Chains A and B, each alone.
Chain A
Amino acid sequence: MKKTAKRKINNIFKNAYIGFVYLFLFLPIIVIVVFSFNTSRMNITFQGFTTKWYISMFSNTTLMEALINTLFIAVVSTFVSGVIGTLAAVGMNKFNFRGKRIIEALLYVPVVIPEIVLGIALLSVFSILNMELGLFTIILSHITFSVPFVIITVRARISGLDRSIEEAAMDLGANKFKTFIKITLPMIAPGVLSGIMLAFTLSLDDVVISFFTAGPGSNTLPLKIFSMIKTGVTPEVNVLSTLIILVTIMGLACVTFAQARKIKSIKN
């Protein structure tokens, strides 16, 4: 009896600790969401409830432009790094070639070096190539830092695959391209999906590398918010953030739900 009471108290402590860490992680986000409904323009005290910023945000052209730029960059760079990365992961698994170790080593460079170093390195190269900084250079940079993540995630999936299925398809007369599209790609699809999801979120959130590779007139959302924090944030930013959070929660909820169902069906 005494032991169960002790265990209960112990469990309460454990769950309180977990809750406390989550509170720390979510506290600033809760604040952002709450203040998106604040009547006051300043994010200092909560003066009253309103939804007016949810309407005025859509007519804030610079904010909307930054949002569209950010989404455009994320979509294009995710697509390109998804294609290059998937091809590379499959190819590196299949072939041995000279310089393979060098490429493998280079892949880890954007992963481990501080972002700022990659940012200034890309800026330097764009400047010797005389490339004008703008959306295009940001997209190139985002592909550079996200492609290794795609390759590593896809490769992790490939290493657990049964190669004999591909061989069987070839034996049955499918050519290489057909085998790749019909057999390999569906098998590695979960890896590709998590790889591109990672690439997409990395691109959306990037501050440091965009900071160096963006030019005048190519404002992204993080850069816009960065300059606004210094000059004065309007609740419209809170609204936009709240909506972004809402979309991510819904996306994640779908993924978690699907996973939970899968685990249950495996158990049954």
Chain B
Amino acid sequence: MKKGKNKDLLSMITMIGPIGFWMILFVAIPLVYVFAISFMRKGIYGGVEFAFTVSNYLETLNPLYLQIFIGSLIMAAISTIVCLLIGYPFAYLISMKSQIKKNLLLMLVILPFLTNSLIRMYGWITLLRTEGIINKVLIYLHIINQPIQLIYNNFAVMLGLVYCLLPFMILPLYSSIEKLDMSLLEAASDLGAKSRKTFLKVTLPLTMPGIFAGSILVFIPALGLFFIADLLGGSKSMLIGNIIRNQFLTARNWPFGAALSMVLIFITLILVAVYKKAGGSMDDLV
């Protein structure tokens, strides 16, 4: 590194200064502030009162919230598994295609996600509702006699989560399968391994980083996407994101909302730490 030149310092400040300033002002300070609020008391008019308390964290253990919390974690876990089960074979099959086809097929995965997520959710509402298209088709095909309840329940919320987050599973899976050294698979089968054994002993371990990255990218957002639960869920299907949203915008209990957010951050940190420990790279989470 060159040292001591004023000119160097000037160009360094112009390059690093803005991002440093921005990250501190709009990422570090806000999060520290939320952390601080989570230990304060709710003001009478919905503001924040500067008095230390841990009651907001105790409140998260209230059975009412705990139930939603656990429900949300389960829904996120199921959505992650479903995304993995759909996404893995899909990414694998795509990675076997020619280069031009691969690019085209990947573009087609990304394309739906360039249209607004709310519009796509609205499309699902049109499909799923009682007088909607899916019920009509099923009745027409005589598979059912009466319309079935496909929407405003946990099933619909999970469908929405899987739909919204599937590409975030497919893309990291694809890039890790793509890197796979095919000669290793050939070697395994030459040495007499059956295709199932080759998959379990060679392919799966080597693509683990992609599985981890994809799972984090699905699981964490799945806890927070409140609008999916709002639009597709029933009155009882709530995600952690819904409680946080309610605390900040309707109940005006910011300290409790902040405490819930800290719990979400805590879950995220644990998952990211596990991911990094398993050898995952942070840049693969982008």
Contacts and interface: CB of A to CB of B under 8 A. Distances in A.
The answer to whether A and B come from one shared complex is yes
Nearest to B124: A28
A225 B118 contact: yes
Pick from A108, A125, A212, A260 the residue with the most CB of B within 10 Å. Answer: A125
A29 B86 CA distance: 20
A263 B102 CA distance: 12
A92 B16 contact: yes
Contacts of A94: 12, 15
Interface string B248-260: 1100001001100
B150 to A, nearest CB: 13
Contacts of B64: none
A237 interface: yes
Contact of A18 (B90, B244, B272): B90
Contacts of A44: 126, 129, 131-132
Interface residues of B, number: 87
Interface residues of A, number: 91
A125 B29 contact: yes
Interface centre among A31, A153, A156, A244 (most CB of B within 10 A): A31
Contacts of A117: 31, 34, 224, 244, 261, 264-265
B1 interface: yes
A221 B34 CA distance: 28
Interface string A241-261: 100110011001001100110
Interface in B126-174: 126-127, 129, 131-133, 163, 166
Given A95-B16, A116-B244, 18 more contacts: A22-B108, A28-B126, A31-B133, A44-B126, A85-B19, A87-B15, A87-B18, A91-B11, A99-B20, A107-B19, A111-B285, A113-B220, A113-B268, A117-B261, A205-B117, A207-B118, A241-B116, A260-B100
